[in-house]
Amino acid sequence: MPEPVIELTGICRDFPADPPVRALDNVTLRVDPGDYMAIIGPSGSGKSTLLNVLGLLDRPSSGSFRLDGIETTTLRDGARTRLRGARIGFVFQSFHLLPHRTVTENVMLAEVYGRHPRRGRLARAKQALEQVGMGHRTGFQPGRLSGGERQRVAIARALMARPSLLLCDEPTGNLDSRNTEAVLDLFDGLRSQGLTILVITHEDEVSARAKRRVRIGDGVLTEQE
Amino acid sequence: MDIRDLWAESMAGMLARPIRSALTTLGTVLGITTLVVTMGIAATAGNQIVGRFDELLATSITVEVPQSSRQALVSWEAVAELRRLRGVLSATALAQSDKSSNLVVTANNLLDPTQVAGQTLAVVAATPNLQATTHGRLLAGRFYDAGHIIRRDRVVVLGEQAAAMLGITRLDHAPAVFINDRAYTVIGIIGGLQREQILAGAVLVPPTIGPDFGLKNVTRVLVGTQLGAAELIARQAALALSPNHAGELQVIAPPGPKRARDGAQDDVNGLFLILGLVSLIVGAVGIANVTLVTIMERVAEIGLRRALGATRRNIAAQFLLESSLIGLTGGVIGASLGTVAVVTVAAVRHWTPVLDIRLALAAPAAGALVGLLAGLYPALRAARMEPVDALR
């Protein structure tokens, strides 16, 4: 049996307040390579906290998180950052493209940090853009693109570093239904190429496309059949 | 992270807001310009003052000969000996006393009640090469020579003011002046004295005529030297003039050129250096302020970079480099403007611009340092940001 991409065991995350808030309560989750999973839940349910923990942006208060078999909770800041850059591709609701840079430069940003060869970077960026169907917009600045195009550029950037996990936070939250459809089709294509995708959403249309659905409520995870 | 990537990201960050970056450099530009101009003008002016000293003072030595009743300390002939010293261009012996300084001189012996007939003038005995030593110019006639001296001719050369006071403008009728009721032929008028300008109001007589007015002994020796020889000649002059009584002569030498330069620079530098440093500090505060604002605006970008694998060190390095580049730009512009200003001022005043090449090179480096220091705190703030907060 292959090593799971994500293995959460008894993860808790408390925020200091009076009384303390428990955003994640004893979460256990296993995501295997090639899984396409949706995490659904209303706002305030702990979705964002779970995403931050999964993206190595935040540390859980207790429990164990193994990413590709590597125990992350004991890693120091620098090692977690390197692991994040190498293994996780992020797709955000608000795209997070740099406004003054071209589409290609935005995609190439994924290889600026960490140990990536500079040689062939432009070719790899163009290939990633082709993969998301944006090969015809390489010299554009993000301000001249539609929302759906921007999100596809952001996905190309996430794919650029060849991550083992694509972590998407409300990827269609700012898109109309036609663009949503295009992005979801793209996810289906990437899934069929073997990429592990984890989407956090509150839209049923998005979660319906995923193979696995997990509902989160008050920090407690329940897998839906 | 590759250093070239760091460079490219910082350049892009700076150029993304070109107008803001340009305005941010202004403080550094002003500071560096002030510093370069201050140092450049001080060096240029200092050099210039030394240049003027060279012409007038730096080659002039005066030897005062105290009067003793027993004997002459310096003979008239000794001055010729002095000229054998290497570096002496000309030497002139003068004799003047309190008594000879107030003699009534008249241009004719007519008694004209409407005019002041006599002028009180100084009579000075001088050796013939006075013209060369004082850089004077003969306005009319000629100077007396060795022949006049040997023959004891009763001739005088008038200083330009003395001639004007006596109403003598032309020499073609061989005018005479009367001193102590004796007539002396005026053979020349000397003017344009650059040294011993007081002699312009004097009546100059050959040394052999001097005794008529009680001027037997040399009282003063004027020496003109080559550039740079003054210090050496000042040490040798007394011994050459009077080997037996060298210690009694008083040699007045020009100040060394080094001291002149330092003195000139000290006056100018202090105030303006402080001004330049204050502008630099203001510039640094400006850079710090704008960088801080920029970082607050770019929180989302910082979060994105952290998500893409940028370490805290990567983030700090990028913002430090950005502020250093802004400082460096200001330094380069400031150094250029300052150099242009120094050259312009020098050109307008017909001076030779003097600028230390190390200063011109150090100025941009100083600008970069200012930017680096100003960026320290903002860069630290950016690096300390938690990615979760930055992405929210």
Distance from CA of B311 to the nearest CA of A (A): 6
**Same domain assignment for residues B89 and B200:** yes
Q: Are residues B300 and B358 in the same domain?
A: yes
Same domain for B87 and B21: no
B1:A113 CB<8 A: yes
Q: Are residues B251 and B263 in the same domain?
A: no
pLDDT in 10s for each residue of chain A, 225 residues = 678 999 999 999 999 988 888 999 999 999 999 999 999 988 888 888 999 999 999 999 999 999 999 999 999 999 999 999 999 999 999 999 999 999 999 999 999 998 888 899 999 999 999 999 999 999 999 999 998 999 999 999 999 988 999 999 999 888 888 889 989 999 999 999 889 999 998 888 888 989 999 999 888 999 887
Q: Best of B299, B308, B315 to disrupt the A interface by mutation (most A CBs within 10 Å)?
A: B308
Q: How far apart are CA B139 and CA B186, in angstroms?
A: 13
Domain coverage including residue B49? 3-53+258-391
- Same domain assignment for residues B342 and B210: no
Are residue B45 and residue B67 in the same domain, yes or no?
no
Facing residue for A98 by CB, picked from B301, B307, B314:
B301
Helix axes A147-160, A121-131, angle to 10 degrees: 130
Q: How many domains does chain B fold into? A: 2
Q: A58 contacts in B (CB within 8 Å)?
A: 388
C-beta atoms of A82 and B300 within 8 A: no
**pLDDT over threshold 60, residue B54:** no
Q: Which of B207, B223, B255 is the last residue of a domain?
A: B255
- Dump the DSSP string for A154-187: HHHHHHHT--SEEEEESTTTTS-HHHHHHHHHHH
Q: How far is A82 from chain B (nearest CA, A)?
A: 5
A56, two tokens = 């190595």
Contacts of B141 (CB under 8 A, 6+ apart): B157, B171, B186, B187, B188, B189
Q: Do B307 and A105 touch (CB under 8 A)?
A: no
Q: Are residues B86 and B210 in the same domain?
A: yes
- Closest-CA distance of chain B to residue A163, Å: 11
Answer yes or no: do B241 and B175 share one domain.
yes
Rounded CA separation B76/B79 (Å): 6
ipTM, 2 dp:
0.94
d(CA B350, CA B324): 38
Per-residue model confidence (pLDDT) at position B105: 87
Query: What's the whole-number average pLDDT of chain B?
Result: 86
From the list B322, B326, B320, the residue with the least C-alpha distance to B283 is B326
Alpha-carbon torsion, ordered A162, A167, A170, A171, to 10 deg: 10
Residues B141 and B273 in one domain: no
* B18 at A interface, C-beta within 8 A: no
B137 and B263 in one domain? no
For chain B, give the percent of residues with pLDDT over 70: 91
Regarding pTM above 0.80, the answer is no
Tell me whether residues A58 and B388 touch, CB distance under 8 A. yes
A100/B12 Cβ within 8 A:
yes
8 Å CB contact of A113 and B387: no
- Whole-number Å distance between alpha carbons of A197 and A187: 8
pLDDT in tens, B188-230: 999 988 888 889 899 999 999 988 888 888 899 999 988 878 8
Q: Which residues of A touch B304 (CB under 8 A)?
A: 92, 96, 98, 109
Q: Do A100 and B388 touch (CB under 8 A)?
A: no
Nearest CB partner across the interface for A114, out of B307, B309, B388: B309
Strands B176-179 and B182-191: antiparallel
Final residue of a structural domain among B217, B237, B255: B255
Same domain, B272 and B372: yes
Q: What is the pLDDT of residues A44-62, one digit of tens each?
A: 888 889 999 999 999 999 9
Whether residue B68 is found in the same domain as residue B22: no
Angle between helix axes B257-297 and B312-348 (nearest 10 degrees) is: 140
Q: Looking at B255, B288, B310, which one is the last position of a domain? A: B255
Q: What is the distance in angstroms between the Cα of B282 and the nearest Cα belonging to chain A?
A: 29
What pLDDT is stored for residue B256 in this prediction? 62
